Amino acid sequence: MIIKGILVSVLAPFENHIANGGEKLLGNASSIKRRPDGKVYVSGQMQRHVLFSAINRLNEVDEGKYDTFVSNGDGITNQIENDLRADMGGFMHPSKGDYSGRRTAPLSVTPAVAINKSEVGRDLLVRIKRDQSEDSKDQALATKEFSEYDLMHMNFFLDVSGLSISKAFTYKNSFNITTKYFKHAKENERLRRAKLFLDGTRYMNDYASQARNAVSGEPQKVLIVFDPLLGRKASRYFTASELEQKNILEELKAKGAKYYLGDDQSEHSVYKAYTDALTFLNASGNSLFDPSNDPENKNVKTFAKAFGNE
């Protein structure tokens, strides 16, 4: 199969958490993010942060790391050949003033949203007062909201056509007449990055308030889809009715997609689903879609060289 898209849809249980805080209410009262219907959610920005944190941890111990790294979110480079966040997460450098200063992210996420309405409580926090003198400040008190239990639904998608590849446009008389693709990493490195993305979705842990309120976003249920046509319809599988779920899977089969379902509450575990998916990704008969049409890696260039910055 020529893989054009990789979709990972997850259900993960969060307990007694404030995985993503909202605005402060009435001074020191910290709120949790929740929708108007009462369901707690984790923003897409936080989801990306947690995923890239997981990718960074995995990359640091990977034997094929070499010069690659994951830049901080506040200082993303344009070194697609080395910086995994620049490659998969995109960047915007407005000072460039042209296409070389921005990159659309091939990796996208949805916010994590509770399946059911959330039950929210309050936790009292006390800062220990050490100075007992009369002119010392009053005892510091604060409250934080927390949600008792949420089964969170989240999705991750990798557009393989943009993985380690840039797109450039040629214009004539204000009309776009051709599109050119530049490849910034060899095929084995593109495959390694795809595996880091897939593996990263199973280690979603670096949410807010981890020091005093650790929460794990590791999957209880997962659906992994390798798609030859860039479809994302399966992202609603876990929120669909039984009939719609059946039709979604039939449609995946009909278009030649490969999918893996895992449920830790059944014999077909999440671990097995990821293991089988990674085996499929590594199989010799499968490859990642390459719009630059350079399977032998003859024209691999750095981003700076491709866009005339070096």
pLDDT tens across 241-279, in order? 999 999 999 999 999 999 999 999 999 999 999 999 999
The alpha carbon of residue 240 and the mean position of all alpha carbons in its chain are separated, in whole angstroms, by 22
At 47, give phi and psi (nearest 5°): -60, -45
Token pair in block for residue 124: 């009292």
Using CB atoms within 10 A of its CB, is residue 221 exposed (0-12), middle (13-18) or buried (19+)?
buried
Domain count, the chain: 1
**Which distant-in-sequence residues (6+ apart) come within 8 Å of 245 by Cβ?**
237
How far is it, in rounded angstroms, from Cα 197 to Cα 226? Answer: 13
> Are the CB atoms for 34 and 251 separated by under 8 Å?
no
For residues 6-29, b (16+ Cβ closer than 10 Å) or e, as one string?
Answer: bbbbbbbbbeebbbbbeeeeeeee
Predicted pLDDT at 170: 85
> Are the CB atoms for 254 and 47 separated by under 8 Å?
no
Nearest to 234 by CA among 215, 242, 225, 243: 225
Predicted pLDDT at 97: 47
Nearest to 1 by CA among 299, 289, 298, 290: 289
Task: Report the SS3 class of residue 228.
Answer: coil
Is the pLDDT reported for residue 92 higher than 60?
Answer: yes
Count, residues in the chain? 310
At 11, give phi and psi (nearest 5°): -115, 125
Place of tokens 């910290």: 30
Mean pLDDT of 185-205: 97
DSSP state of 3: E
Least reliable range by pLDDT among 34-43, 84-93, 205-214: 205-214
Domain housing 278: 2-306
DSSP state of 70: -
Give the containing element (helix H, strand E) for 34: none
How, if at all, do strands 140-159 and 29-32 pair?
parallel
**What pairs with residue 71 in β-bridges?**
none
Confidence category of residue 57, pLDDT binned at 50, 70, 90 = very high
**Treating both helix axes as pointing N-terminal to C-terminal, what angle do 187-200 and 44-60 enclose, rounded to 10 degrees?**
120
Is the pLDDT reported for residue 37 higher than 90?
Answer: yes
